[in-house]
Each structure stands twice: as structure tokens, then as C-alpha cells.
């Protein structure tokens, strides 16, 4: 089966452009996606396809357009031009409210909207009802059990009864990752899940994300980061973004090279790999 394709005009990627229409395995399909705000181009003719069961990393420097791309993939933002299909639905042609419950999202924007007095287990369980903030006096025990199980999988089950506002940044990230999984999404989008974590916290989270990547029942996943050190083992594909454009995209082994990484960050970088993990530093 032909595998992922993503690139943009002028891309140095090895893969070709996605076909103009999504195939049956397509989970995210963007064709010539441009996002403009005022005179600023946030995304510049990005074409990108994510197929079912792939685990993608979107990597790039500050301001590259990563969060903007994730917002488009989350059906939260319409492109200025271009075509986007998510989970088989064309953005603009369907009611986005129908698509969003099928997508689990963890992002800084979401983190800032959680009421600080919310109980941690309720932050997670309320995702099953498509809301943020407790809106029922009682949740079904099955849902509460599932939320506790997900908090446990993220290593924070002991915090279930704490108020969200009292959590450290790392604990909030883990809580939101558990929330993103609560509704059994078909697509999981994680925007900088390891940002702000200490070394131990980062390594622990990466091990958990690796287990998720290896689980055939886990949803198709896209993770945004600035750092190659934060790419979990067994993530399959990478999209390198710079100035709103695709530098390269495709399977990690072929695409995450010193040449592409240096072009993405605009400096000469050395890249090392050990045990399925990546490490980069300036030459
Ligand atoms: N409403 C807006 N108007 C003008 N420019 C904007 C607007 N929103 C975002 N931008 C700019 O678009 C660019 C891309 O932003 P985006 O948040 O997608 O980047 P990013 O790759 O996620 O960055 P970071 O790694 O710093 O989070 C940035 O330069 C940002 O300043």
C-alpha cells in the first residue's frame, strides 16, 4: 500500500504530494492548505496526509505554524484556502460539532480554559460528555472508572480528587492527555505534551506515549514538539515545518536527517540516534 505522502511545493521531502482526494485510510488530508491572518501567512500551501494507525510528529521552531496546523486538524480552524478532510469529513461541508467529538486534543489553549476548581477526575470524565467543566452532579460509575484508569496510565491516578488549579504544569499535561483519550477518539492530537516537564517527568511521559504508539488499538496520533528529544520511540512519521511551509515529511527513518533538521531550524545541527530516540545539537 502506498504510504504517507506529505510535502509542499519546493519541499525537500522524499515523499510526493498527497493525491488531491483522500483515500479510504486517510485520517487527515490537507491539500494546499493556507492560513492567513491579516497580512501574515501562518500556513503556506501545506499538503499533508496522515493515514490510519500512523503516529506523526510535527517538528519545527517557534512560530513555524505547528499549532495552527494542529488547530486545522482538530477541526477548530478553517483554512483561508485549500481543502481539508478530517476523519473522512470535508471541513466546511459538515457541521464541525459532529467531527470534534471523534478527536482527542491536548493543548495549551485547552489547559488555560479548565476551571481551576475542577476536580482532576472530572476534567477527564467530562470529555466523555463533550464538555469542559463539571456540568452534572453525577457521572456514571463506568465513566469514572475509565477516567481513573486513564489517569493511572498517565501516572497521576493519585491526583484524581485534587483541584486542577493546584496541579503542577507536568501534572496538568498528564491530566489533559488522559482527558484527550477519554472519549475513545479516532484521532489524538497532542500539542507539546512534554513542554515544561522536568527530565524525569519527560522520560516517564515519553515511555507512556511509546506504549500508546505500540498499542494497535490506540488512535492515530499527531504530536507537536520543538525538540527531537521529545519524539517517543515507535512514532512512525515526521513533518518538519518552517515559516508555515513543509521542509520535509514522511517516515521518520528517511525524513529525520541532519540536512532536513538543519534546514528546519536554520542552523547546522548534528543529529544522533540511540535506542530509537533522537538527540540534536549545534555543530
Ligand atoms: N491571529 C494572528 N495574527 C497574526 N499572526 C498570527 C496570529 N496567530 C498566530 N500568528 C503567527 O503565526 C505564526 C505561527 O503560529 P503558531 O502558533 O502556529 O506557531 P508554532 O509553530 O506553534 O509556534 P510555537 O512553537 O512558538 O508554539 C507565529 O509567527 C504567530 O505569531
Residue 236 above 70 pLDDT?
Answer: yes
Strand residue runs (E) in 196-244: 220-225, 237-242
Q: Bridge-partner residues for 86, per DSSP?
A: 28, 89
Expressed in angstroms, the distance from the first to the final Cα of the chain is 38
CB 26 within 8 A of CB 88: yes
In which residue are the cell numbers 503556506 written?
44
Question: For ligand 1, is residue 208 a contact (CB within 6 Å)?
Answer: no
Q: How many residues does the chain have?
A: 283
Q: Mean of the pLDDT values across residues 197-223?
A: 92
**Ligand 1 within 6 A of CB of 196:** no
In the block, which residue shows the cell 456540568?
Answer: 135
Lookup: cell for 172 = 496538568
Ligand 1 mean position, distance from CA 240 (Å): 16
Model confidence at 132: pLDDT above 80: no
pLDDT greater than 60 at residue 259: yes
| 10 pLDDT higher than 80 | no
From the CA of 62, how far away is ligand 1's center (Å)?
8
Taking the C-alpha atoms of residue 152 and residue 141, their distance in angstroms, rounded to an integer, is 16
The Cα diameter of the chain in Å comes to 57
Q: Write down the residue that cell numbers 518552517 correspond to.
A: 242
Q: Which helix (H) or strand (E) holds 7?
A: strand 6-7
C-alpha cell at 12: 525537500
Taking the C-alpha atoms of residue 104 and residue 108, their distance in angstroms, rounded to an integer, is: 14
Ligand 1 centroid–CA 108 distance in Å is 13
Residue 13 pLDDT: 38
For residue 2, pLDDT beyond 50: no
Would the CA dihedral through 13, 19, 24, 27 be positive or negative?
A: positive
**pLDDT at residue number 227:** 95
Amino acid at each position: 500500500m502506498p504510504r504517507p505522502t506529505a510535502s509542499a511545493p519546493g519541499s525537500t521531502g522524499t515523499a510526493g504530494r498527497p493525491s488531491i482526494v483522500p483515500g479510504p485510510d486517510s485520517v487527515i488530508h490537507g491539500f494546499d492548505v493556507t492560513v492567513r491572518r491579516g497580512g501574515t501567512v501562518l500556513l503556506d500551501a501545506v499538503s499533508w496526509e496522515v493515514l490510519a494507525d500512523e503516529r506523526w510528529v510535527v517538528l519545527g521552531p517557534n512560530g513555524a505554524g505547528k499549532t495552527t496546523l494542529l488547530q486545522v486538524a482538530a477541526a477548530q480552524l478553517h483554512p483561508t484556502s485549500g481543502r481539508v478532510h478530517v476523519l473522512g469529513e470535508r471541513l466546511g461541508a459538515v457541521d464541525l460539532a459532529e467531527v470534534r467529538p471523534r478527536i482527542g486534543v491536548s493543548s495549551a489553549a485547552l489547559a488555560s480554559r479548565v476551571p481551576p476548581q475542577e476536580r482532576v477526575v472530572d476534567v477527564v470524565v467530562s470529555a466523555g460528555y463533550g464538555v469542559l467543566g463539571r456540568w452534572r452532579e453525577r457521572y456514571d460509575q463506568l465513566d469514572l472508572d475509565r477516567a481513573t484508569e486513564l489517569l493511572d496510565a498517565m501516572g497521576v491516578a493519585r491526583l484524581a480528587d485534587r483541584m486542577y488549579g493546584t496541579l503542577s504544569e507536568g501534572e496538568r499535561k498528564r491530566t489533559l492527555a488522559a482527558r484527550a483519550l477519554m472519549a475513545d477518539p479516532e484521532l489524538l492530537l497532542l500539542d507539546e505534551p512534554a513542554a515544561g516537564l522536568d527530565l524525569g517527568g519527560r522520560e516517564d511521559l515519553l515511555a507512556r506515549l511509546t506504549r500508546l504508539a505500540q498499542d494497535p488499538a490506540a488512535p492515530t496520533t499527531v504530536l507537536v514538539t520543538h525538540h527531537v528529544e521529545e519524539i517517543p520511540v515507535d512514532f512512525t512519521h515526521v513533518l518538519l515545518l518552517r515559516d508555515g511551509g513543509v521542509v520535509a515529511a514522511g517516515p521518520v527513518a528517511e525524513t529525520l536527517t541532519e540536512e532536513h533538521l538543519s534546514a528546519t531550524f536554520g542552523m547546522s545541527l548534528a543529529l544522533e540516534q540511540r535506542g530509537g530516540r533522537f538527540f540534536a545539537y549545534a555543530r
